[in-house]
Structure 1
Amino acid sequence: MDITPLLDTFGERTVVAGFGLTAGLLFGVMAQQSRFCLRSAVIEFWRGSWGEKLSVWLLAFAAAVVCTQLFVALGWLDTNTARQLSARGSLSGALFGGLLFGIGMILARGCSSRMLILAANGNLRALLTGLIFAVTAQAAMSGALAPVRTWISGLWTIEGGTARDLLAAFHLNHVGGMAFGFAWLAVGIHLVRRHKLPLRWIIGGLGVGLAVALAWLGTYSVGRQAFDPVATQSLSFTGPSADMLMLVLVPIGKSIDFDTGLLPGVVFGSFFAGLFARELKLEGFKDGPSMRRYIAGGMLMGFGGMLAGGCAVGNGVSGASIFSLTAWIALLGMWVGAGLTDWWFDRRADNRARLMVDTADAAAVAP
C-alpha cells in the first residue's frame, strides 16, 4: 500500500494519527452496534449458555486472526517488529495481569473498551470507571504503582522474537494461522445461526475484527515508508488511555501518534452509532455499593492491563491475532479470572436470591 503522497502532504505523525482515528471510528461504530464485550462472552461461556455475546466475540476474534494472517501471507504486513513479538516479554505479568483484568471487568460489568463505548452513549458509570482505569494505568506505567508492576513483571520473562511467536513454536506458517482463525469463525457462524443474531450484530462483530487487522496494516505501511520510526501496532486501550490522560493534563511536549487518534475515534464512532440507532441514554449509579464495585473494577483493570501489556482488545484480539505467546497467556488469565469472579460474586448472589424467593413462595402457600 503506497501512502507516500499522504506522507508528503500531511506528514508522518498526522497520517499515523489519521489511521488511528479511522480505526477508532470503525471500531466504535461496530462495537456499539454489535454489543461487542469480552465480559459478556466469558459469562455465557462459563455459565454454559454459549449465546449471542459469545457469538459476536468469536466473530470479531476470528475475523481479526484471518484478516491479519492473510495480510501477512500476501506480503502486505510484517508483524515481527510489533512489540508483542519483538520485545522481551513477561509471562508472570501476562498471567497475573490477565487474572486481575478479568476480575476487574466482572466487577465493572465491562472491559475497558466497553466502558469507552458505553460512556460515549451517556453511561456515567462507564465514564467514571474509565477515568479510574486511565488514572490507575498511568500510575502503573510511570507513577506510584510502577515499582510493583516492574517487580511482578520481572519474576518470569521471555526473550522476544520466535520465543514469543506461537506459530513458530508449533512450526506453523501464516496459512496455518488463517486455518486456525477459520475454525473459530465456523464455530461463531454455527452459534450465529443457532441464535438467529440480527444482521447488524453479525456485521458489527466482523467489523471489530477487521478494524484490528486494518490497524496492523496501516501502522506497518506508515512505518515502512516513513523517515522517522513508527511502531507497528493495533488496537489497545490501556496504554493509550494513560497517554491520553497525560495529553489532556500536560499537553506540553506531547507529539501525536496512532493512539492520539484512536480513542477520540472510538468515542465519536460509538456516539454517532448510538445517535443514529436512538440508543443514547444518560445513566448513573443506583446505589453506593454498586459504585464501590465499579471503582474497584476500574482500578483492577487499569493495573492488570498495564501489567499484562494490554487489555481485552489489546491482548485478546490484537495480540492474539499475531499469535503472541504473552497475549494468549493474558487472554487465558482474563477468562479464568472473570469466570471465577462471576461465580463468586454474581452467580452465588443469584442463587441466594432465587432460594429466598422459593422459600418465600413456599411459605406463602403453606397451610
Structure 2
Amino acid sequence: RMRMWIMAIGVAMIGTGVLAWAGLIDPTKTIYTSARLGWLSAAVGGLMFGFGMVLASGCGSKTLVRIGAGNLKSLVVFVFLGLSAYMTLRGLFGVVRVSTVDTVAVTLPATQDLPSLIAHGTGLARGTLQLALGVVIGAVLVTWALLGNGFRTFDNLLGGLAVGLIIVGMWYVSGHIGYVSEDPNTLEELFVASNSGRMESLSFVAPYAYTLDWLMMFSDKSKVLTIGIVSVFGVIAGAAAYALASRTFRWEGFGNAE
C-alpha cells in the first residue's frame, strides 16, 4: 500500500510539473504556498491530526470510505472532525490559533515551493525547474514503487495511477478552468472552484467543514458546491458503489459505550 501511495505522489508531481510548465496553472498562487512559512502551526496541527486519526482509526479519506461502506461510527468521526475543522478555520479555535502558533513563522525569500526557492537562489527559470523537478523526482518515486516485489498488480497500478491523476485533474479544474483573471466585484483575480478563493487540490479536513456548512446552510444561495465539497461526496459515493458491487457493504454501529 505504501508503494501505491508513493506511485500516486510521483504521478501527481509529474502531472503538476507539466501543467505548470505549460502555463496552465501557477503553483505560486495555491493556498499551500506563500513566502510566510508557519512552521509551528504545521507542527502542532500535524501532531494533533495524527493523534486524533489514531483514535479515529483512520484519516479523513479513510473515514469517507468507511462511511460509504456503511460504517456509522465513521459518520460520528466525520461530524466531529468537520466541526473542529470549522472552529479552527473561523471559530473559537481559530482565534486561539491566530494569537498563538500562527505568530511564529519564517519569511522565505520566495514562495515555499521548491522550484521558486531554487530559482531565487540560482537565477534559473522557475518554469523550467517546475518541469524538471516534477518529472525527475516523480519518475524516481514511480520507479521505486514499480520495483517492489509483488507490487505490479492491476489493483495497485490502478490505485496509484488514478489517485495521482485525480490530484492533477483537481489542480487543472481549480487553477485553470476555475480561474478568473479579474473578478468584476473586486477587480482582482479569483479562483471560483474553491472555498478559499485560491487554487487547491485534493484534501479533506477543510472540505469536511465546508461540507457541513453547505448542508446546514443549503437554502442560502451563496453557498455553492466547490471541488472540496464535491470530492467528499464523490469518495463516499465511490466507496458505496464498490462496497455494493463487491457485496462487502454492511451497516456497522457501536457495540457498546466504549
Query: Does the pair score TM above 0.5?
Result: yes
Larger fraction in helix: 1
The offset of 1:160, in angstroms, is: 7.3
User: For the residues of structure 2 that align with 1:84 and 1:160, how far apart are their CA atoms?
Assistant: 14
The one-letter code matched in structure 2 to 1:184 is: L
The counterpart of 1:277, out of the listed 229, 242, 246, is 246
Structure of larger gyration radius:
1
Unaligned 5+ runs, structure 2: 120-125, 184-189, 192-197
The counterpart of 2:216, out of the listed 225, 249, 257, is 249
Counterpart for residue 136 of structure 2? 179
8 A Cα contact 1:68 1:216, kept in partner: yes
The one-letter code matched in structure 2 to 1:177 is: G
Q: State how 1:1-367 maps to structure 2 within 5 Å.
A: 53-86=1-34, 88-159=36-107, 162-171=110-119, 173-174=129-130, 175-191=132-148, 194-196=149-151, 198-224=153-179, 228=183, 229-230=190-191, 231-251=198-218, 252=220, 253-289=222-258
User: For the residues of structure 2 that align with 1:156 and 1:205, how far apart are their CA atoms?
Assistant: 36
The one-letter code matched in structure 2 to 1:137 is: A
What is the number of residues matched between the two proteins? 235
The one-letter code matched in structure 1 to 2:164 is: G
8 A Cα contact 1:80 1:161, kept in partner: no
Does the C-alpha gap of structure 1 residues 282 and 87 become closer, same or farther in structure 2, counting only changes over 3 Å?
farther
8 A Cα contact 1:85 1:160, kept in partner: no
The one-letter code matched in structure 2 to 1:272 is: A
* TM-score, normalising length: structure 2: 0.81
The offset of 1:287, in angstroms, is: 4.2
The offset of 1:245, in angstroms, is: 0.8
The one-letter code matched in structure 1 to 2:145 is: G
The offset of 1:97, in angstroms, is: 0.7
The one-letter code matched in structure 2 to 1:264 is: F
Note the alpha carbon deviations across 1:104-126, whole angstroms, 9 max, x for none. 22221210111011111111221
* TM-score, normalising length: structure 1: 0.59
Structure 1 range deviating more: 66-75 or 222-231: 222-231
CA RMSD of aligned residues (A): 2.3
The one-letter code matched in structure 2 to 1:208 is: V
Note the alpha carbon deviations across 1:308-362, whole angstroms, 9 max, x for none. xxxxxxxxxxxxxxxxxxxxxxxxxxxxxxxxxxxxxxxxxxxxxxxxxxxxxxx
User: For the residues of structure 2 that align with 1:147 and 1:232, how far apart are their CA atoms?
Assistant: 25
